[in-house]
Chain A
Amino acid sequence: MSVNWSKYSAPMAFYPLAGRLIPWFAVVAVVLMGVGLYMGFFVAPTDFQQGESYRIIFVHVPAAWMSMFLYVVMAIWAGVGMGLNARLSFMMAQAIAPTGAMFTFLALLTGAMWGKPTWGAWWVWDARLTSELILLFQYAGVMLLRTSIDDMRRADRSSAVFSLVGVVNVPIIYFSVQWWNTLHQGASVSMSTGSKMAATMLMAMLIMTVAFWLYSIAVILARVRCIVVERDSLPVWDEKPAVIQEAVEAR
């Protein structure tokens, strides 16, 4: 059986599909968060250097990864929107920005909570922290640019260009701990050298990351559905037939 995926690029077909998917992503996300928190607090051992403060890693690293990952995904949708002139792609990009911004904010906040006991400072103007702060401004910029332009097509394209240009900051954030002499510790998990963490710590962190990822999908799909309704105020896709009937009769 072959599925015609391109069919779902139309908001009308995508809308009910997204609605059916949201509960699954949400339920699995909640379950994995429970498992991840249990492992993070009750299975993972105390860190020999940082004591219990290291447990912040179980929200800090997933939030920071999501902040970068969502930015790239947002830029990809923006690029697809520009290339194919596809409205749904622009709506996806629009829906990703607030969640990405939230995770960027959380990465910075939990970072400050970790920085204070380990470095003695809430904030330092270090390459990693500074580039992550710039990422927060980029998300804010994308969202403000959109709201400041009334014409929807121009708003879509302008914010798409802005997000695409800003993608250069993502590798800068990621490699900042290698390129500059930073106070921020290096990568705990790397593709070349593997993990430097205890297996249970790593497992808890990865489970939390998957949970955050599924949470993001659920929330973003829910937001896309709102955007579809807001933008195309007329055809009602999941309205009760009786209401539509009533409306038709009223005309």
Chain B
Amino acid sequence: MQWGSASEFFAMGGYGLYVWTSFLATALCMLWEVLALWRRRVAARAEQRAALLGGMDETAT
């Protein structure tokens, strides 16, 4: 390992801004995608259930 301390690790030899922005952006994009899919699934199933129960109760979601 080449890091003497935590601050050395976060500094990334002076390139911290570039390195951490890259990794953080990637992590955020992935988390956002998973969350968006989760919401999409909930919405799709709610709509499906409403269609299935249609006529009986429009708000059955």
Cβ of B14 within 8 Å of any chain A Cβ, yes or no, is yes
Interface size, chain A (Cβ < 8 Å): 43
Contact of A46 among B2, B40, B56 (CB under 8 A): B2
* Contact string against A for B residues 19-30, beta-carbon threshold 8 Å, 1 for contact and 0 otherwise: 101110110011
User: What residues of A have a CB within 8 angstroms of the CB of B53 in the complex?
Assistant: 243, 246-247, 250
Residue of B nearest to A251 (CB): B55
- B6 on interface, CB distance cutoff 8 Å: no
Give bound CA distance, A65 to B41, whole Å: 28
State whether B25 touches A106 (Cβ < 8 A). yes
Closest to A220 in B: B37
- The CA of A134 and the CA of B16, in the complex, are separated in Å by 29
A222 to B35, CA, bound (A): 11
Known contacts A45-B2, A236-B52; decide if A102 and B33 are in contact (CB<8 Å).
yes
Q: Is the interface of B mostly helix, strand, loop or mixed?
A: helix
Q: How far is the CA of A105 from the CA of B28 in the complex (A)?
A: 13
Assess whether A147 is interfacial by the CB under 8 Å rule. no
Q: Is A60 in the interface zone, CB < 8 Å from B?
A: yes
Bits for A101-122, please: 1 = Cβ < 8 Å to B, else 0: 0100110011001101100000
Q: Is the interface of A mostly helix, strand, loop or mixed?
A: helix
In the complex the two chains form, what is the Cα distance from A233 to B12 in whole Å? 51
Q: Which residues on B sit within 8 Å (CB–CB) of A52?
A: 12-15, 19
Q: Is the CB of B41 within 8 A of A56?
A: no
Residues on A with beta carbons closer than 8 Å to the beta carbon of B3: 42
CB pair B26–A110 under 8 Å, yes or no, is yes
Chain A 227-251 residues near chain B, CB threshold 8 A: 229-230, 233-234, 236, 239, 243-244, 246-247, 250-251
For B17, the closest partner residue in chain A by CB is A113
Residue of A41, A98, A114, A247 near B22 (CB, 8 A) is A114
A59 touches B22 (CB 8 A): yes
Given A105-B29, A110-B26, A55 contacting B44 (CB threshold 8 A): no
Contacts of B13 in A (CB 8 A): 46, 51-53
Cβ contacts A207-239/B at 8 Å (1 or 0 each)? 000000001000100110110011001101001
Identify the closest chain B residue to A44 (Cβ): B2
CB neighbours of A176 from chain B (8 A): none
Instruction: Give chain B nearest CB distance to A126 CB in angstroms.
Output: 18
Binding site for A on B (CB under 8 A): 1-3, 9, 12-15, 18-19, 21-23, 25-26, 29-30, 33-34, 37, 40-41, 44-45, 47-49, 51-53, 55-56
User: Mind listing 10 A-B residue pairs with CB under 8 Å?
Assistant: A41-B9, A42-B3, A45-B2, A53-B18, A106-B29, A109-B22, A219-B37, A222-B41, A236-B48, A243-B49
Beyond A37-B23, A234-B51, list 8 extra A-B contacts (CB 8 Å). A46-B2, A52-B15, A55-B19, A110-B22, A114-B18, A223-B40, A226-B40, A236-B52
